[in-house]
Amino acid sequence: MSPEQQRESTLLHRVRSLRLWPKDRHIGLLLAVVLITFVSLSTLRPDTFASGRNLTSMALQVSDLGVLALAMMLAMIIGGIDLSITATANLSAISSALVMAHLTASAVPGGPTTMIGVTVALGVGLLCGIVNGLLVGYAGVPAILATLATLTLFSGFATVLTGGVSIYGFPDELTAFGTAGIAYIPLPTLLFAVVAVVVFLLLTRTPLGLRMYLVGANPRATAFSGVRNGRVVLSTYIATGLLSAIAGVIVMARTDSANPNYGSSYILVTILVVVLGGVSVAGGSGRVSGVVIAVILLQLLSTGLNMLLVGVTSGSNFVRDLAWGAVLLIVLAVSGRSALRRPRRAKKATGAPTTEPRDSAPAEVSR
């Protein structure tokens, strides 16, 4: 076995020793909450909530938020955060819109115009990710400060490019993507599903994914193992930038507009989704399935509460936020209590004492 293969084998063994993919009750709990929520809302609003039209609408709304949540998940797995995801999405969409408008005015056919516009959006997202990755991975700037700065920077660029107004009117190919579907499933939702599968494969089937978990769990031990942490961080933020650009394209196709202020509240919502999905805020653990289920749960609550409170109160958004926070606290409390019980059950089965020092630290990766 070559030295490189030995290193990869060692990394895989350490990832498994961290129990990144245990039999997680958190996922089962989320699925149970989704099922209970869907049945309850369908019972309360049988004519509207469970209708095919409403389900299609909810699926369409999940797409852009879901892709942004996956971007936030990658940043948090390595122990960081990306507050610039919405600014990156907006700047990518605006840059793409301006290029497509220029090509359309130059009488370039619509097909190439759309492809060029999407390529420009992905290129801008790539550049934004590189900026974040260099600041966090090589300059040593804390992720929350670096991405807060780039949030302001990218938003400023987007505002300057548009003058603070929205851009409308895109090629038919792009807008058709935002409204068309296959078997009542919107194309943006299918794209979100494809992105989720790609992110899952990245995290579980590639050396980069394993190193991302290791960097988030214990960056010092990972560095001693020969992993270049800076390169892993840079690659991660490049991925978050590309995912943000994809979300920007979805929004542009779905709404037929590009706005420098779109989705300003999505930053906190994506953090809520990621934490609700079981991703550790300290880094080193997290599942794509948990994030996907959490996105679906929040969309069910949002749509259901809007239907229940229509004509009753003008503060439905506040009630929605209250419900989101309540669900987050309940799921975290139940999941955390189950996590505390598992070590005690294991010690009872082996006959080991169940008392532990309160300030005991988890074992490091290097052991």
Looking at mean pLDDT, say which of 45-59, 140-154, 254-268 comes out highest: 140-154
In 3D, which of 242, 244, 300 has the Cα closest to residue 276? 300
Using DSSP, state whether 359 is helix, strand or coil: coil
- A 10 A CB-CB count for 334 gives 15
Using DSSP, state whether 258 is helix, strand or coil: strand
Residue 230 has pLDDT above 60, yes or no: yes
In 3D, which of 74, 95, 77 has the Cα closest to residue 85? 74
Higher-confidence position of 309 and 346? 309
Ramachandran area for residue 280 (φ above 0: left; ψ -120 to 50: alpha; else beta): beta
What 138-142 contacts at long range (C-beta under 8 Å, 24+ apart), as own/partner pairs, is 138/230, 138/234
Q: Could you say which DSSP state residue 157 is in?
A: H
Rg for the chain (alpha carbons), in Å? 22
In 3D, which of 79, 219, 215 has the Cα closest to residue 144? 79
Using DSSP, state whether 168 is helix, strand or coil: strand
Looking at mean pLDDT, say which of 81-85, 303-307, 325-329 comes out highest: 81-85
Using DSSP, state whether 109 is helix, strand or coil: coil
> Does pTM surpass 0.95?
no
CA dist 65 → 103, 300, 316 (Å): 29, 13, 20
Q: Could you say which DSSP state residue 51 is in?
A: S
Share of the chain above pLDDT 90, in %: 50
CA dist 170 → 17, 94, 187, 252, 362 (Å): 50, 11, 17, 9, 53
180-218 tens-digit pLDDT: 888 889 999 999 999 999 999 999 999 999 999 999 999
pLDDT band at 21 (very low <50, low <70, confident <90, very high): very low
The pLDDT score that the predictor gives to residue 73 is 96
Higher-confidence position of 332 and 347? 332
The mean per-residue pLDDT over the stretch 129-135 comes to 97
Phi/psi at 2 (5° precision): -75, 160
The mean per-residue pLDDT over the stretch 148-172 comes to 91
- A 10 A CB-CB count for 102 gives 13
Sequence spans of domains, the chain: 62-286
Distance (Å, rounded) from C-alpha 271 to C-alpha 227? Answer: 28
Say which range, 16-20, 239-243, 252-256, 268-272, has the weakest mean pLDDT.
16-20
Give every CB contact of residue 129 below 8 A, 6+ residues apart in sequence. 88, 237, 238, 239, 240, 241, 242, 244
- At residue 313's C-alpha, the angle toward residues 255 and 38, to 5°, is 65
pLDDT band at 168 (very low <50, low <70, confident <90, very high): confident
In 3D, which of 244, 209, 22 has the Cα closest to residue 122? 244
Give every CB contact of residue 301 below 8 A, 6+ residues apart in sequence. 37, 320, 323, 324, 327
Distance (Å, rounded) from C-alpha 176 to C-alpha 184? Answer: 14
Q: Are the CB atoms for 210 and 14 separated by under 8 Å?
A: no
Q: Are the CB atoms for 192 and 71 separated by under 8 Å?
A: no
The pLDDT score that the predictor gives to residue 170 is 86
3-class SS shares of the chain: helix, strand, coil, % to 5: 75, 0, 25
